[in-house]
Structure 1
Amino acid sequence: MTKRGSRRKGATRAERAARAEAEGKRDFSPLRKWSKRIVIWGGAAALLGALFIAIAVAFAARSLPSFYQLKATQNAQTIVVRARDGSELVELGPSYGRWISSDEIPQVMKDAMISVEDRRYYSHPGVDPYGLARAVYVWATGEDRLGATSTITQQLARNVFLNSNRSLDRKAREAVLAMALEWKFSKEQILELYLNKVYFGGGAYGIDSASRKFFSHPATELSTAEAAIIAGLVKAPSRYSPTADVDAAVGRASVVLRLMREQGRITADQAKVDVSAVNLKQEQGTNSVRYFTDWALPQLELLLPETFEPIEVWTTLDPGMQKAATTAVQANAPDGAQGALVSLDRDGAILALVGGTDYVETNYNRATNAMRQPGSSWKLFVYLAALEAGYTPNDRVVDTEVSIGGWSPRNSNGRNIGETNLRTAFAYSINTVAAQLGNEVGFSQVASMARRFGISTPINTYPAMVLGSNEVRLLDMTRAFAAVSAGGSSVEPYGIVKVTTADGELLYQHRKARSTQLVPDHVARGITDLLQAAVQTGTGRAAQIGRPVAGKTGTTSSNKDGYFVGFSSGITTGVWMGRDDNRRVGGLQGGRAPAQAFAAYMRYAVKDRPVEEFDTELQLPEWQMDAEDDYFFGNPDDYYYIDEQGNMIEPGRSDQPGGDLPLPGEGGVQRQFDDEFDRSGRPQRVPGPRPDTTTGRGEDGAPQAIDDDFLDNAIGRDERPQRPEPRPRN
């Protein structure tokens, strides 16, 4: 029993061993079989994938544009705007600079870009397998997302053909296009395309544009430190821009230099270059300049044939005058009010143009687009028509109550001085005289005169139009006064002198507009006489600058608009101030803030020009008045004077001029009817405050140099006389 049992037990063990061996063989054979299948299938899939990628790359390579087509491709036009002295005012649109060929690109620039962006550039086929494997490993070991630094070729493919989405599909297409680029072009061609197209921030595309923007010289002259700064921008153009953060740019450039040294592309001594010593281009402020470019650049559509190549626009703008104009407007505009200024040279060239107090806050151009009432500055056309009809500055007219078709204009002080001359009526902006003159020569004739002098906005011919009820543009009014300054010859404002390509090829050259004599010489001399009197002794005294000035104030009812337009030494300047919502501005009068801004600007504008006496036979300087006129006008210095900054100072006043404080003699407030106009220019009479008449104001609200009581005594008048209407001259 025992032996038999032992044998059975032994047999059982042998059987188990044999069975186990057989089972092991059976288990091993399928594993090996599936392993082989996986390898075979995997290899086949890889082969098919490689074949598919090769076919995709081949098709992509065939569909790619040629090297020369890629060179010519750019997304938008670059416009460099230059001032009259050739300095750069502003650069608009993406800048591509000049195309720099591979032979012209400094080697240090190539080395810097390869070191920081793609160290294995010359050894990979467009996609860096090592970099991709490393990225997958980093992601597999805990990184949140899969990411890899694109090669230079991949970046070029993305910049030229794709967008910046981070989708897997976009990355796959980027890789295929990168390999297609490598298939079709040489490494030097790819690097040339990349360096001329990659974005470096601030609108600069390509190394030449970046070099000019940041260092003011072409890319062919880049130094080691400058090349390191430019190469460091690609990673984050806005963060490392030297114009935005110099320290960040210098720090990033130091990293580039270290990588270049580690990779053996520069020596240790070259890597020690002081990046912080690089001279960066100083950018000028472009705030108010944009008002000018917004007006001038749309004209290129008419001046040039369709072109997308980079251009340079040479303009008439004077940088110093533009800065002075901006400061004058900002310093004198009342709180809560806007201001605008246009300044023209004698040939119509725009020397300065300010469309508001702050372009960043509001880019609405009040100098060229806003339509506002000019107040009494419109009387320029009334008196031009009268002079053309036969009047002269010395002719006698009568300031008396008048009614025209139910419209009864009043002087702002509520008084009438009776008989005077045309010069005085204009200088003190007497409404009733202007109304009579307009009625006599014809309101349509006044409108025709305004059209003749360049007013382009609609003009109604209601009687109230003589007081400035029509809405106009400041540019048009300045143009009209410039024509007077030019002796009655037409003036065409312009802002573009010439347009060239980036290489200097002339595309457009301004030609002087044909001049037309708008009025006879004696009319031009007569109106200049009147305009000079308005500044010397009338409502425009705050515009005096120590040399002959001719101009006219304007203030609309309820102090909604303040105007001053005038000229001196061949420069004509118009200033407007008011609120965009057309609400009243406390203390705003054409003879104050606008005239003061005019004076502040014009002192700078004419400082290098010779003093010019006006061409007029009838001038009215105070030292040439006869005794009777001296007694009539009095001594203006006894009442008001102008300080060195052109501000009007009232005797006994310590407050700053231009405020909304009462003038001497403004005790109680009586009720009167102020003249206002509806949108169509029809007069409306609404109740309003009136200061007492111990000290009067001109029509536009500016203070008179003499009070009404003095005038009464001067002409021996106790009661207001009833004078006949002005008669036509033969």
Structure 2
Amino acid sequence: MARRPGKSQAAQRARSAAPSRGQRRPARRKRARGNGFPWFRTAASLAIIATLILGGWLVSIARDLPDTDGLQAIERTATIAFLDHNGALIARRGSAHGHEVTVDELPDYLIDAVLAVEDRRFYSHPGVDLIGLGRAMFANVRAGRVVQGGSTLTQQLAKNLFLSPERTLRRKVQEMMLAFWLESRFSKDEILELYLNRVYFGGGAYGVEAASLRYFSRPASELGLGEAALLAGLLKAPSRYSPVNDAQRAAARATVVLDLMAQTGRITEAERMTAAQTPIRVSRGSSSQGAQYFIDWTAEQVRQIAGLDHGDLVVYTTLDVDAQRAAERAVSLILDDESLASGAGEGALVSLAHDGGVRAMVGGRSYARSQFNRAVLAQRQPGSAFKPFVYASAFEAGLSPEDRRNDAPVRIGDWAPQNYNDEYRGEMTLREGFIRSSNSIAVQIAEETGRGHVARLARRLGIESPMRVDRSLALGVFEVTPLELATAYTPFANGGLRAGAYGIERIETAQGEPVYVAPTRPGELVLDARTSARMRDLFLTNVREGTGRRAAVPGLVIGGKTGTTNEFRDAWFAGFNSELVTVVWTGNDDNSPTDRATGGGPPARIFQAYLEAAPRTGLGSRPDQPPTGMAGPPTIETAILPLSDQPAADPANDRDGPAEDPIGAFLAGLGGRD
């Protein structure tokens, strides 16, 4: 009979069959590793999916890349060159392209200047500068805003040639793809040539050759170091740094470029100092931004004359760039001084030769801030500046300057006009009534002569705006433009001949073939000799003794009339000398009252400052005496000579600068120059 195992033996066998504590731990670890494997597979799967999505997105972007055929063809539009009456260039309209240049044709320092500010590692990166990207992204994140960009010169070329200006990540990736493609197809020098021949330098000039001709009137191969620095400085923001718009800002930017060139070893310190001490002379006709008001006015006439499908044209205008600059400075001199402006925020000036040719036109204080041409388009009441037409009609009707009338309150029906400050001086001659700008006497003689006769004479001399032929006509209670008033004053200055205002003398093709020539017809006689002589006497007396005294210019024979409207909303001075008829208006665009500005205040001061500074030749400043009371023009020569003997502040941070329309630090890091 078999013996049953004992209790102790059974327990021992059970213990031997059960796994030990040490044996169970590896089993748990094995199970733990098995449980984690699905997470690893999930992560790997997500990575693969993300890669596929990214790849698909990049493929879709690549498919949308623009056609690169015809890369080296420049699409050229017709240009119009506007010259002043002495042949100086005023402006170009259209996309002006010079002939294409090669790197070998350009001075080394011009290439170095461009690379110093645009892409210092151009010859070492493959189209995208990873170092520049990292630097820009770090700077932008640290600043919390867009302060730098990392776009290379190749990327800028790709954007300018093929892409729209929209600021999106998709467009930025396309820019990078095209940059790599350009680098694979062209040499570095060829890419640099494509860039320099197409980049915009402001002023309608595309390409370095066109820019050199635009600003310096000579080819790029003849530029000096300072001029090369100025052109390179334009690339960051052509309008902002243009010497036409702001000479001092252009000078400061050129100084930054020279400093960067010295810091990167492209020029020596001695070369930097020499460049800083060498004058930079911008083309004479390119230094008056305010002339754009005149160009806008004449460009519309060119389109009407030549049509829309014309080729390149040269327009010979009546403008005088010296007179234009003098007019702009005169307006700024008075209106920038609050004590002299008397609450007038805007102004306009029109200056005509005695035959009606426009010599200067200022449509506002700043063309950059407002392109509304107040000289041509602003309809404002002339006030007492209309009284000469009242007196001229009275003289035609048989009255004389020595006739006497009572300067006293007058009533016509229920209307009772008042003199300025409600002051009356009793009996006086018509001459005295004119120089004191008596409302009472003007209304009296208008009623005696007949309002219809006054209106017809004004029409005959050049007033074209609708006039209300009612009791208030004598006080100029209707609206005219400064150009219109100047045109109507011309017969008072030239002996009685009507002369319509015009700005174009002739138009030619680029080959010199005539397209248009202004008609040379004698002006119609609209004032008889006796009336002209009497009106001239009144105008001269008014400047010598009356309300126009502030318009007097020592050494010049000046005649004119002031005008002020109700609540001091508009102030005028309309006058002339032996060569020019000039009308000045000041006021506010919203028609709000000024601080009691009268025609004898800001407008008369502007008139005086303008004629004081007008050029000698045919425009009346005193012989052998410099203009007085005005600061010198902010020409690029005075602003850059010398540029600066000291380095500009933090020039290393000025390479790319803030973007005008940032979309975040990340995109800015991809390229902040958009």
TM-score by length of 1: 0.59
**Quick one: distance in 1 between partners of 2:223 and 2:333?**
41
- Residue 99 (structure 1) aligned with residue 99 (structure 2): yes
Letter in structure 2 aligned against 1:274: E
- Equivalent position of 1:317 in the other structure: 320
Check conservation: 1:491, 1:515, Cα contact below 8 A.
Answer: yes
Partner of 1:566, secondary structure, is: strand
Query: 1:248-299 CA deviation, whole Å, 9 max, x = no partner?
Result: 31244347765xxxxxxxxxxx989824534574557646444444544444
**Quick one: distance in 1 between partners of 2:273 and 2:527?**
63
Query: Where do 1:410-559 residues align within 5 Å?
Result: 410-412=418-420, 413-415=422-424, 417-418=426-427, 420-497=428-505, 510-512=518-520, 515-546=523-554, 547-559=556-568
**Quick one: distance in 2 between partners of 1:144 and 1:539?**
62
- Equivalent position of 1:306 in the other structure: 308
Check conservation: 1:109, 1:231, Cα contact below 8 A.
Answer: no
**Quick one: distance in 1 between partners of 2:500 and 2:178?**
58
Check conservation: 2:482, 2:584, Cα contact below 8 A.
Answer: yes
- Residue 589 (structure 1) aligned with residue 598 (structure 2): yes
- Equivalent position of 1:561 in the other structure: 570
**Quick one: distance in 2 between partners of 1:556 and 1:256?**
62
Change (3 A) 1:213 1:252: farther
Partner of 1:575, secondary structure, is: strand
**Quick one: distance in 2 between partners of 1:231 and 1:402?**
69
**Quick one: distance in 1 between partners of 2:359 and 2:514?**
23
- Equivalent position of 1:619 in the other structure: none
Check conservation: 2:312, 2:510, Cα contact below 8 A.
Answer: yes
Correspondence for 1:277 among 274, 277, 283: 274
- Equivalent position of 2:221 in the other structure: 220
| C-alpha displacement of 1:422 | 3.5
| C-alpha displacement of 1:551 | 1.8
| C-alpha displacement of 1:607 | 5.9
Give the unaligned 5+ runs of structure 1: 1-44, 122-127, 259-269, 613-643, 647-730
Check conservation: 1:228, 1:254, Cα contact below 8 A.
Answer: no
Give the unaligned 5+ runs of structure 2: 1-51, 141-148, 243-248, 622-626, 630-674
Query: Where do 1:200-215 residues align within 5 Å?
Result: 204-212=205-213
Which has the bigger relative contact order, CA under 8 A and spacing at least 6? Answer: 2
Letter in structure 2 aligned against 1:119: Y
Query: 1:26-85 CA deviation, whole Å, 9 max, x = no partner?
Result: xxxxxxxxxxxxxxxxxxx9xxx9xx99x989x987x72375xx22346xx766655544
Correspondence for 1:576 among 585, 588, 591: 585
| C-alpha displacement of 1:466 | 0.8
How many matched pairs? 534
Query: Where do 1:610-629 residues align within 5 Å?
Result: none
- Residue 389 (structure 1) aligned with residue 397 (structure 2): yes
Change (3 A) 1:144 1:603: closer
Correspondence for 1:380 among 388, 394, 400: 388
| C-alpha displacement of 1:434 | 2.3
Check conservation: 1:356, 1:366, Cα contact below 8 A.
Answer: yes
Change (3 A) 1:217 1:500: farther
Letter in structure 2 aligned against 1:334: A
Letter in structure 1 aligned against 2:341: P
Letter in structure 2 aligned against 1:208: E
- Residue 119 (structure 1) aligned with residue 123 (structure 2): yes
Partner of 2:582, secondary structure, is: strand
Correspondence for 2:70 among 46, 51, 65: 65
Percent identity between the two aligned chains: 33
- Residue 600 (structure 1) aligned with residue 609 (structure 2): yes
Change (3 A) 1:153 1:249: closer
**Quick one: distance in 2 between partners of 1:592 and 1:229?**
41
**Quick one: distance in 2 between partners of 1:502 and 1:583?**
47
Query: Where do 1:184-195 residues align within 5 Å?
Result: 192-195=193-196
Correspondence for 2:377 among 369, 374, 389: 369
Q: What CA RMSD, in Å, does the superposition of the two structures yield over aligned residues?
A: 5.1
**Quick one: distance in 1 between partners of 2:110 and 2:171?**
30
Check conservation: 1:90, 1:286, Cα contact below 8 A.
Answer: no
Check conservation: 1:551, 1:567, Cα contact below 8 A.
Answer: yes
Query: 1:78-122 CA deviation, whole Å, 9 max, x = no partner?
Result: 6665554455556677x644122549834848976899565389x
| C-alpha displacement of 1:180 | 8.7
Letter in structure 1 aligned against 2:600: G
| C-alpha displacement of 1:367 | 2.9
Change (3 A) 1:599 1:192: closer
Letter in structure 1 aligned against 2:455: A
Change (3 A) 1:536 1:404: same
| C-alpha displacement of 1:196 | 1.0
Change (3 A) 1:306 1:389: same
Correspondence for 2:331 among 326, 330, 352: 326
**Quick one: distance in 2 between partners of 1:207 and 1:216?**
12
| C-alpha displacement of 1:464 | 1.2
| C-alpha displacement of 1:307 | 5.5
Partner of 1:71, secondary structure, is: coil
**Quick one: distance in 2 between partners of 1:60 and 1:349?**
50
**Quick one: distance in 1 between partners of 2:620 and 2:66?**
72
| C-alpha displacement of 1:522 | 2.7
Query: 1:673-707 CA deviation, whole Å, 9 max, x = no partner?
Result: xxxxxxxxxxxxxxxxxxxxxxxxxxxxxxxxxxx
**Quick one: distance in 1 between partners of 2:232 and 2:610?**
45
**Quick one: distance in 2 between partners of 1:610 and 1:169?**
55
TM-score by length of 2: 0.63
**Quick one: distance in 2 between partners of 1:234 and 1:470?**
49
